[in-house]
Chains A and B, each alone.
Chain A
Amino acid sequence: MTAREQIFGDIRKALKRAVGQPTLFETAPSSSQELPAPTLRIPLSDRNLFADLFVQKFENLGGRSFRVRDTWAVVPAITELLTQKSAVASNSPFLRKCGVTGLAQVQAGFTDRDQLKEACAAADLGITSVDHALAATGTFVMLSGPHEARLVSLLPPVHIAIFPRSRILANLDELLSILPRPADQTSSMVLITGPSRTADIEQILVRGVHGPGEIYAVIVDEE
């Protein structure tokens, strides 16, 4: 008997399934407890307030944010952060639109995994956009794909995320209402809520253990 057969046999026995009862996968599940319909709690607040709430939550976690009017204002806003630093940028079209990928100290356009990994491991900063942001928790939501890689927001010690204000959602529940099954679109969706942190020694908070210890959000009001 294979491990699979035995485990399923043991489960069916434990749940007192009748002999010969068809595989439940082909029928609807039955139980004393019905599966409740998903409950998503999305506050009905003014969308114009989301950016303010995001900034407040994000900064409480130790992030720093910049609000800029339009895409032209992005490069001037981050110039200081980039001085004397090397950076890797993701392939997000929004970053190109903001003129970030054209900067001398920024490497961009990676399509090869090993090259990207090497560049990210050596870079001071990783620059990305985000697919969504969550106001209630100050969270970035990033889906891995041709435009965003996993390692750009992870290997460099500093992460800068640049995104239009319109991408800010209310909360996790709203995200799950838009993306009821994230796996349909990507092998990796990550919610980033504040800098990498630990409190494993004496419960003392230290930022930047394995991921970036410093994170910045640049919110662009008009796309």
Chain B
Amino acid sequence: MKAPETEIRQAINDPALQLAIYTATGRFIDGRASVVSAEALPDYQALRNEANAIKKHTIENLDYYLEQLESNVIAQGGQVVYCRTGQEAADFVLDLAKKRGVHMLVKSKSMTSEEIQFNERLEEHQLEAVETDLGEYILQIAHQRPYHIVAPALHLTRYDVADVFTKELGVENEVVIEKQTKIARSVLRQKFLEADIGVSGANFLIADSGAIVVVENEGNARLSTSAPKIHIAIAGIEKVIPRAQDLAVFLNLLGRSATGQPLTAYTSFLSGPRRESEIDGPDEFYLLLLDNGRTKLLADPEKRQSLYCIRCGACLNHCPVYRKIGGHNYPWVYSGPIGAIITPQFHGVNQDTWLPFASSLCGACAEVCPVKIEIPKLLLKLRAEVVEVKRTEASDGLERLAFQLFAWIATHPKINILLASLGSVFFPLVPKIGPLKKWASQRTLPEPAKQNFHQWWASRRRSV
């Protein structure tokens, strides 16, 4: 796949969009910097090292921790459903909804569900899935995909939102953000109270407790997991961590890296359906564990570290490429540097071949990654793979001819020496003529040696 050059140019030349991206990512950058500074969090680097070590250990023992998780979820009265693909996840939910006579479900924000086009799959079968995160809700009724892992509607202004609300909700041109939020609250409140199924993602799966952790600011995830009678959580198999106590590391990093919050407004630890003595909460709990390409990533000892990602979005915010081209010019739901890595891997290297090249390799992403994924190194590796695939598949005829010619010259010394001495004659002309004129005008070129090595060697022998 080639880079969408027209769309990228459009994004770069749209001043309103550029301002929106720069302001939003700039705020995230400042927010993060203020809470991970040496004064605010002296142990920040130690926490990153611990997070990396825990993730590395868990991913290298993924079978062990998944089994432990599974048995503990079951012990808490929940059920675990393994899904190889998004279709399997959607089929399970459709089937359950049919059995329980459910026609509408509420959803809290989940990148994993975006990844598998969950809503679209359900809607094909007339099961309505209502996004309840404000940004996701706006995008859903505007029929757009998320622009950013953490701030999905980052690219829309209040005026865009007003247009969407007028068109889709019949609300007269409302441009005050507080009032727009109130409108969404009242529409969605009704949905929360009516829905019989709530679907959430999970930021962490805790093996030793059979629990999931959901981190959010709005309260929609709490509502989605508490008000309906059935709670379904969807998560990638890589989200598992060994112990609840490991959250002391991960929760101290996630909110800070994502939005600059030491803790987000709500952090929910949820396990199974409500207990005997509890007054409210769901009657049924299902944990859908999704592969969808993750085991393929696991098979590569170097690239498997991209499974450590906790989806904080810091690498997007700090990426000079993301900040210019924006989120929609990446071909899939995961944008930015981490998206450039996991997208080709989830889809197979042959597709999206431009992605590993959409980086200046400045290393900002690796510097801010809370779990220390070596993003630039992985991008380089992916570049090498793309080149390798190209070379073996259908390589450039001219390039092949050039190298064959070079090989022939290099293995025929007399011709080689002749051409080299011709080169020293023509080399000084490079700055004056030809396609390199402009490039060379800014540079001082080295003088070719008066004698080449063979001539010098021959003269030295004679003198000895």
A interface with B by C-beta (< 8 Å): 2-4, 6-8, 10-15, 17, 23-25, 29-36, 38-41, 91, 110-113, 116-117, 121, 136-137, 139, 144-146, 149-151, 154-155, 172-173, 176-177, 179-184, 186-204, 206, 208-212
Contacts and interface: CB of A to CB of B under 8 A. Distances in A.
Given A11-B295, A182-B209, A198 B278 contact: no
A173 B152 CA distance: 31
Interface string B6-25: 00000000000000100110
Most chain A beta-carbon neighbours within 10 Å: one of B57, B245, B277: B245
Contact of A200 (B60, B138, B266, B269): B138
Given A186-B271, A202-B20, A209-B219, 4 more contacts: A117-B280, A197-B218, A198-B134, A201-B138
A110 B53 CA distance: 46
Contact of A181 (B82, B209, B219, B274): B209
Nearest to B193: A121
B60 A15 contact: yes
Give the top 10 A-B pairs by smallest Cβ distance, nearest first.
A211-B219, A200-B135, A10-B295, A183-B209, A183-B271, A210-B219, A29-B61, A14-B299, A38-B245, A25-B67
Most chain B beta-carbon neighbours within 10 Å: one of A30, A121, A137, A182: A182
Most chain A beta-carbon neighbours within 10 Å: one of B83, B157, B227: B227
Interface size range of chain B in the complex? 35 or more
Most chain B beta-carbon neighbours within 10 Å: one of A29, A149, A150, A208: A150
B88 A3 contact: yes
Contacts of B249: 39
Most chain A beta-carbon neighbours within 10 Å: one of B60, B156, B225: B60
Contacts of B268: 188-191
B117 interface: no
B248 A25 contact: no
Contact of A209 (B181, B295, B304): B181
Interface of B: 20, 23-24, 27, 43, 46, 50, 53-54, 56-58, 60-68, 71-72, 76, 82-84, 88, 132-135, 138, 151-154, 156-158, 161, 177-178, 180-181, 184-185, 188-189, 192-193, 206, 208-211, 217-220, 222-223, 225-227, 237, 242-249, 251-252, 259, 261-275, 277-281, 285, 289, 291, 295-296, 298-299, 304
Contact of B66 (A3, A8, A13, A149): A8
A123 B57 CA distance: 48
Given A151-B227, A172-B251, A209-B220, A34 B57 contact: yes
Given A24-B61, A176-B244, A196-B265, A201 B153 contact: yes
Contacts of B246: 38
Contact of A198 (B181, B285, B304): B181
B280 A150 contact: yes
Given A11-B66, A180-B245, A195 B265 contact: yes
B223 A202 contact: no
B279 A110 contact: yes
27 contacts: A13-B299, A14-B299, A23-B67, A33-B56, A33-B57, A36-B54, A39-B248, A41-B43, A110-B279, A116-B279, A117-B227, A121-B193, A149-B278, A150-B226, A154-B226, A172-B263, A173-B248, A177-B245, A179-B244, A180-B244, A183-B210, A184-B209, A186-B275, A193-B264, A193-B267, A201-B177, A202-B20
Contacts of B134: 198, 200-201, 209
Contact of B60 (A31, A172, A182): A31
A151 B66 CA distance: 31
Contacts of A146: 277-279
A176 B68 contact: no
A2 B92 CA distance: 14
Nearest to A189: B269
Contacts of A151: 226-227, 280
Contact of A183 (B185, B211, B261): B211
A211 B210 CA distance: 26
Nearest to A209: B218
A189 to B, nearest CB: 4
A193 B60 CA distance: 34
Given A7-B82, A25-B71, A206-B177, A187 B273 contact: yes
Contacts of A208: 181, 185
B279 A190 contact: no
A144 B222 contact: no
Contacts of A144: 274, 278-281
A111 B189 CA distance: 23
Contacts of A139: 263
Contacts of A121: 189, 193
B181 A183 contact: no
Contact of A33 (B60, B208, B298, B299): B60
Given A7-B291, A17-B63, A40-B245, A191 B263 contact: yes
B260 to A, nearest CB: 11
Contacts of B248: 38-41, 172-173, 176
Contacts of B289: 7
Nearest to B218: A209
Most chain B beta-carbon neighbours within 10 Å: one of A41, A121, A136, A190: A190
A172 B259 CA distance: 18
